Amino acid sequence: MKKSKLLKRFLLSMLTASFIIPIGAMADSPPAEENIVKNLPYTVETGVDLSYNYGLYPNPDKPGELQETKPELGKLTDGKTASNVAFSNDGWHKFLRGLSRTIIFELPEEKAVTGFKVYTVKNNHAGLQLSNYYDLYVSENGADWMLAYSYDNSHQTAGNDDKTVRTIISALNVGRFKAKYVKIKFRVEVNTFIDEIEVFGTDIDGTEAPFVKYVDPFNYKNAYNPGIEGMRDLVLLYCGYKGDYDKSYVENTEEEMLYYCGYVSPNGAILDTMFDSFMFSALSNKLPSGRYCGQGGDPPLMSDWQFFIDSIFDEEFNCGAIERALDKVKQATSKSDYTMQLVINMPYPNISPNKPFGDIDGDGKEEYCRNKEEQLKIYAWFMDAVISKMEQRNYKNIRLGGFYWEPESIKTSLGEEEYAFIGKVADLIHERNVNFFWIPILYANGMDKLEEMGFDVAMMQPDLPWNSQYMKYEMFYGMSEALKKYGFGIEMEIHWNVNNPSHENFNSRVREFYAYLDACYALGMMEGASHSYYQSANPGSFYYLGKAVAGLQRELYDDTYAFIKHMYKPRITISAKEQNAVAGEKFYGYASVKMNYNSRIAHGDVYLELVDPPKHGTFEFAKSGDFAYTAEAGFEGVDSFTVVARNEFVLTQPYEVEINVTKGEGNESSQEETTGENNESQSQSTEKDKNIANNGFVIPAIIGGAVIAGGGIATAVAGRKKKKGKK
């Protein structure tokens, strides 16, 4: 019996051993996953160009720092998380606006990527948003990419709590993807704070997924929005409830509106039409009940909305005044069929579970605004009330062009459903055979979803007057690329300080608006894009500019008219006095840039650029206009060179400078004699040579008639004819 038990134990132990040993021998342990980007450097790409604005602009409060965290600090891969969720915590890598960010890593060696984590934070109330997606890309060569995995985070973006909450985006074991380079891409709306990104992977074992090259499916417009149905230059006006302001702020008169409907001379003569359309908004979004009609404000009230409609269609002011002003413009210009189109800024019906909106269908019962369906009913009532009022007034000169979406960015706190909701509002508008407009802030949330939301015309705000501490005029380069890529027009924003020439900021504000005009001229937005014109109320800046009989204000009104008619050109001219040289002798001359009122304050330092050098001598030329010329010995006659004047946004027509060259008698020996005897003259010549060298010797390439130097605007001058003749 005892032997039998021992035998059983022995056989059982042998059986167990025989089970364990072969399994260990047959299959190795799976390779351990590790964070393969820890302590690696990385680069950051922005969704739109931020070189001169927002995140990549110097921080005015912290010299030497940017608004956005510098990648070289390595905060995303240092293995450390922020010690707390305070906004001021130094552990966060902070991203500011710009549509999206793409973080790019180069691995030391090829790995099999299996997943990632992003450690971030959320507080929608404070503008700290989560992205609705986190995409993982892999590449073997850094040029061709595969979208390995897209993490859908749309379920976490909504909510308006003001509590800051840590969030970990975790996408592990999503597959095996061979990579030498890795990208993590996510949306950035206002602020995005991330303290760590981890990418997990193992050694390559041959089981990795086959490479499939990513092709971006997005329908990029690659053209500015040109406007619609004749609406291309839309001026913004105000009416509604006056609130704390004088009633003149909401009662636009016929005399005032004349300067918007027509182009009026300093002596009051109507010379031409001006803006082609106008939009009315409620002044300060304030309403008679004391409520505000903007998104995120008070519950809506039917009587408030009706007051706004009645103000728009007032018989004496606003549309009534515009109707009569247009009669005068048509008579003066003999354009008997001319009309302007009206766009109306719709109040936003904020959801309110308890407070009624009003009886919108006449059944004696109050309607509410408790959900999306009831919001849409209120919008439909508002549109129909506007159309009914238009029919009552029976205007000859005003047509209804459309409605405007009031929020200037799509709120993350409302979730992804808000995009579909706006699309339904667009359907209501299009059912009434009018158009849908939007003027979002710079790089607003939703800028890449215009088609999804149903907008016919969208014009983006550069926001320069309100954010000059975060931006430079050069921002128009990158902005123009984004506007064209996504199909936008542009808002032309003029600060109210231009109304008062005695204001200390008057000159800088005029200069600012000329930056808009010059940039649009140079970058194709004057002729290619639609424009809205933001101005102050009572009635607005363009009225005060037009009333001026001379000076910068008048120049600005005239140039705005020229811009609307696509005739604007920066007011810069080149001049040169008569140039006389002797063959074989070095001659110093100067060509100058002439600038009057507005052109002297056009953006950036204007400099001269050489297009064609002289044909009969040696030549040195500086951006300042200084030049040194030595005609070849024995030459007699007229030699010439051609220059243009330019800055960041301005490029003039080519200008030819002529040099009269005389042969001179014994000029070679005379030159040697003079050089030996006059040290002072030699010293002056040497100093001039230094000045020319220090100012830069520029001879750009000429391609198809276009000056290629500085980049960005060569196409704006292609094909222009060279100006001939002595000046």
Is the alpha carbon torsion for 475, 480, 485, 491 positive or negative? positive
What is the pLDDT, as a whole number, of residue 483? 98
Q: Which residues, in sequence order, are CB contacts of 643 under 8 Å at separation 6+?
A: 574, 591, 608, 609, 610, 611, 621, 625, 654, 655, 657
What is the spatial distance between Cα 177 and Cα 115, in angstroms, rounded to a whole number?
A: 9
Q: Please compute, for residue 454, the number of CA atoms within 13 A of its CA located in the half-sphere on the CB side.
A: 21
pLDDT per position as a tens digit, 108-154:
999 999 999 999 999 999 999 999 999 999 999 999 999 999 999 99
Question: Are 188 and 444 within 8 A, CB to CB?
Answer: no
What is the spatial distance between Cα 697 and Cα 29, in angstroms, rounded to a whole number?
A: 68
What is the pLDDT, as a whole number, of residue 65? 75
- Residue 415 tokens, joined: 């979730």
> Which regions in the chain score pLDDT beneath 50?
1-27, 597-601, 667-682, 693-727
Q: Please compute, for residue 681, the number of CA atoms within 13 A of its CA located in the half-sphere on the CB side.
A: 11
What is the spatial distance between Cα 96 and Cα 134, in angstroms, rounded to a whole number?
A: 17
Q: How far is the first Cα of the chain from the last one, in angstroms, to the nearest whole number?
A: 129
DSSP letter (8 states) at residue 465: G
What is the pLDDT, as a whole number, of residue 720? 28
What is the pLDDT, as a whole number, of residue 700? 29
3-state secondary structure (DSSP) of residue 192: strand
- Residue 704 tokens, joined: 């198809």
What is the pLDDT, as a whole number, of residue 31? 65
Domains of the chain by range and CATH?
34-202 (2.60.120.260), 233-564 (3.20.20.70), 572-717 (2.60.40.10)
What is the pLDDT, as a whole number, of residue 470? 77
What is the spatial distance between Cα 727 and Cα 723, in angstroms, rounded to a whole number?
A: 10
Question: Order of strands across the sheet with 637-646?
Answer: 579-582, 655-662, 637-646, 607-612
Is the alpha carbon torsion for 220, 221, 224, 228 positive or negative? negative
What is the pLDDT, as a whole number, of residue 580? 94
Q: Say how many C-beta atoms besides its own lie within 10 A of residue 61's C-beta.
A: 8
Q: What is the pTM of this model?
A: 0.82
What is the spatial distance between Cα 713 and Cα 104, in angstroms, rounded to a whole number?
A: 31
The distance of Cα 613 from the centroid of its chain, to the nearest Å, equals: 38
Where do the H-state alpha helices sit in 313-415?
319-333, 372-393
What is the spatial distance between Cα 215 and Cα 687, in angstroms, rounded to a whole number?
A: 59
Is the alpha carbon torsion for 63, 69, 72, 78 positive or negative? positive
